[in-house]
Amino acid sequence: MFDFSEGKRYNSFVGYYRRKYGERLQKLVLDAGFSCPNRDGTVGRGGCTYCDNAAFHPGYSTAGKPLLAQIDEGIEFQKVRYPRARHYLAYFQAYSNTYAPLERLRELYEEVLCHPEVVGIVIGTRPDCVDEEKLDYLADLSSGRILPDWHRTLGLSKDQAFAGQSQNAPIVVVEYGIESCYDKTLKRINRGHDFECARKAVNMTAERGLDTGAHFILGLPGETREMLLDQCGLISSLPLRSVKFHQLQIVKGTAMEKEYSTDPSAFYRPGLDEYLDFIIDILERLRPDLYIERVAGEVPPRFVNDTPWGLVRNFEILRLLDNRLVERSTWQGRLYSPSTPLIIA
């Protein structure tokens, strides 16, 4: 079995920053007022059929509010749960956060990096909203060439191995919403790009040494359990550092809600017990060095039309997952093989 951290049977992202930088780095969700090309008519209108962005970020993060004010309010929000946190990552989450001219992106990213408690940025975006010029800038930013006088000192004083660790360039992470490896699914949910576009963006990003993550939604219409397991080989073949999995949640007022009400049989929506085994089946097929940042999403109940798992929280799902992995005597990567045939998207 792969030597996973913290006694886990999968490569948990929990504790990743603590192990690397000597302290917990908490994300602060930001809304910088971006849009998406499948909303404004560039490649489509209406956006992704499952999306209502208000369901995915906290109240302090609202478009139009100054970014530094969002950060200050976010710090106060996070300190309730994480009172010992000292430094934060500014998480550009809402919509597509590279969908603007480069000069505008520079202004936004460098503004938040001026905050004394911010040590890096995480950029959520679409794979069709990056290009060579933008990625070159992000690589230069993460190397210290853009902000030569930028400096932070990381590491908890209690941990002498990390105390006073100098960070002379900001952390830069790019997270892509890939959602599915199947082109027919991407078309059905109105993404406006195909999987090859995602593959190209991930490769371009990783080639520049940038931390690269991806999001996938499990249970999109038309995708069976077998299809979702088949895509694991393709996910493992991408040069990703981390991955997030979200079970599909039917958000009120979306086009997806209408589609689900018309034909619920087109959706794979397992109960929690079945989902735990399903996630383990996925973990078994993924390469063992791929960090798992999330295994399920959590949308406030007021935004969804049902709560088939009740009000169980993510930390409880992770506890159940740990126990189920032990019960099944299995681990991430147990069935992984680099020679596994790749599906055709």
Torsion angle in degrees (nearest 10) through CA of 314, 315, 321, 322: 160
Every domain of the chain and the residues it spans:
5-327
What string of H, E and C letters represents the secondary structure of the chain?
Answer: CCCCHHHCCCCECCCHHHHHHCCCEEEEEECCCCCCCCCECCCCECCCCCCCHHHHCCCCCCCCCCHHHHHHHHHHHHHHHCCCCCEEEEEECCCCCCCCCHHHHHHHHHHHCCCCCEEEEEEEECHHHCCHHHHHHHHHHHHCCCCCCCCEEECCCCCCCCCCEEECCCEEEEEEEEECCCHHHHHHCCCCCCHHHHHHHHHHHHHCCCEEEEEEEECCCCCCHHHHHHCHHHHHHCCCCEEEEEECCCECCCHHHHHHHHCHHHCCCCCHHHHHHHHHHHHHHCCCCCEEEECCCCCCHHHECCCCCCCCCHHHHHHHHHHHHHHCCCCCCCCCCCCCCCCCC
Report residue 102's pLDDT band, with 50, 70 and 90 as the boundaries.
Answer: very high
- Is residue 159 very low, low, confident or very high in pLDDT (cuts 50, 70, 90)? very low
Q: What is the pLDDT of residue 165?
A: 67
Q: State in words which class domain 5-327 has.
A: alpha beta
Which band of pLDDT confidence, cut at 50, 70 and 90, is reported for residue 3?
confident
Give the pLDDT confidence of 23-32 residue by residue, as tens digits: 889 999 999 9
**Residue pLDDT, tens place only, 124-147:** 999 999 999 999 999 999 999 999
Rg, C-alpha atoms of the chain: 20
Question: What band does 342 get if pLDDT is binned at 50, 70 and 90?
Answer: low
Asked if residues 181 and 195 have their Cβ atoms less than 8 Å apart, the reply is yes
Q: Which residues are paired to 88 by β-bridges? A: 26, 118
Residue type, 181: C
pTM value surpassing 0.85: yes
